[in-house]
Amino acid sequence: MPKEKSIKELEDLPGIGPTSAEKLRAAGIDTLDKVAVMSPSELNELSGISTEAAKKAIQVAKESTTLEYTSGSEVYRQRKDVGKISTGSKELDELIGGGLETHSITETYGRFASGKTQIGFQVCVNVQLPKDKGGLDGTVLFIDTEGTFRPERIESVAKAAGMDVEKALDNIMVVRATTTQQQVLTLERADKLILEKNIKLIVVDSLTALFRSEFIGRGALGERQQKLNQHIHRLQILADKYGLAVYITNQVMDNPGILFGDPTTPIGGNVLAHAATTRLYLKKSKEDKRIARLVDSPNMPEGEVVIKITPNGIKD
């Protein structure tokens, strides 16, 4: 009796050849789990195989995947190993539960000059500190989509922290992405860099700028949201796989439907709202002060604090 073939890759599924598998991976369908939850029409459209072949492939994918259950007490034990990066402000750290958490995505959104990038610079420096000083003894992958990275700012923040400036800058791997394709590919190829450089923080400043400029109009909205969804899920996969923290900044727009209160609305809609673990809204106040409001967190109540953006970094 012939030995049953082990199903591990997309190409192992019936009807899925190298060409079909390539089409699926290009659309973000890169695991058997993802095929298992597709409809035959979706698989037919993305891969080019017939609907009947798609039904068989989905059935085999379902039979080849297993669900793993973890007890609540085990999850609780795992949570004790979560690392945290200080933002430089004790009050802001307390607001978000002790700092930027590993295994999760922290998003800040707000208008121009609200302090989003400045917090990014601060955590780029702080992640390099020892754990007992609010860091993770790690390095940074900084994806710059708007030309906002300023080594001079890192220099002043690192000096204030008593760090070797050259070393602090060497520990930040900067990728200047000018297209969404470059932005997406940086994360797709990040595994080797993360392991080689001991990366403990990924910063994307900003996550949505290029998607917003490349996908214009209502007709492109569906495709934009789909690609954005895949991109942010890749960030979460990397955060979980390597135990690192993710910090993203987001642009805003005015929602004309809001007649009372602040009409400022983050870009990305529900895709980003559900994907980010912690969401902070930053608002400019007088002089160097900024108001940081916690909008969403799985374990912390809503609230707000006032922080200062000083030449030496983020302070209370």
Express each pLDDT in 106-118 by its tens digit: 999 999 889 999 9
Instruction: Supply the range of the domain harboring residue 21.
Output: 10-64
Q: What is the pLDDT of residue 75?
A: 75
Across all residues in the chain, what is the average pLDDT?
90
Specify if 2 maps to a domain: no
What's the rounded mean pLDDT across residues 287-297? 95
CB atoms within 10 A of CB 70: 9
Q: Domain check: are 36 and 115 in the same one?
A: no
Instruction: Render pLDDT for 232-263 as a digit per residue (tens, 0 to 9).
Output: 999 999 999 999 999 999 988 766 555 555 66
Q: What is the pLDDT of residue 3?
A: 42
Q: What angle do CA 269, 272, 273 make, to 5 degrees?
A: 75
Report the C-alpha gap between 160 and 269 in whole angstroms.
38
Q: Domain check: are 25 and 148 in the same one?
A: no
CATH number of the domain bearing residue 298: 3.40.50.300
Specify if 233 maps to a domain: yes
Specify if 3 maps to a domain: no
Helix (H) or strand (E) holding 88: none
Which residue(s) pair with 280 in the sheet? 108, 294
**Is the pLDDT assigned to residue 78 strictly greater than 80?**
no
**Is the pLDDT assigned to residue 27 strictly greater than 60?**
yes
Cis amide prior to 206 (ω within 30 degrees): yes
Domain boundary, last residue among 64, 86, 106:
64
Q: Domain check: are 57 and 163 in the same one?
A: no
Q: What is the pLDDT of residue 260?
A: 57
Specify if 69 maps to a domain: no
Burial of 111 (0-12, 13-18, 19+ CB in 10 A): middle
Q: How far apart are the first and last CA of the chain?
A: 72
Q: Domain check: are 150 and 256 in the same one?
A: yes
What's the rounded mean pLDDT across residues 287-313? 95
**Is the pLDDT assigned to residue 128 strictly greater than 80?**
yes
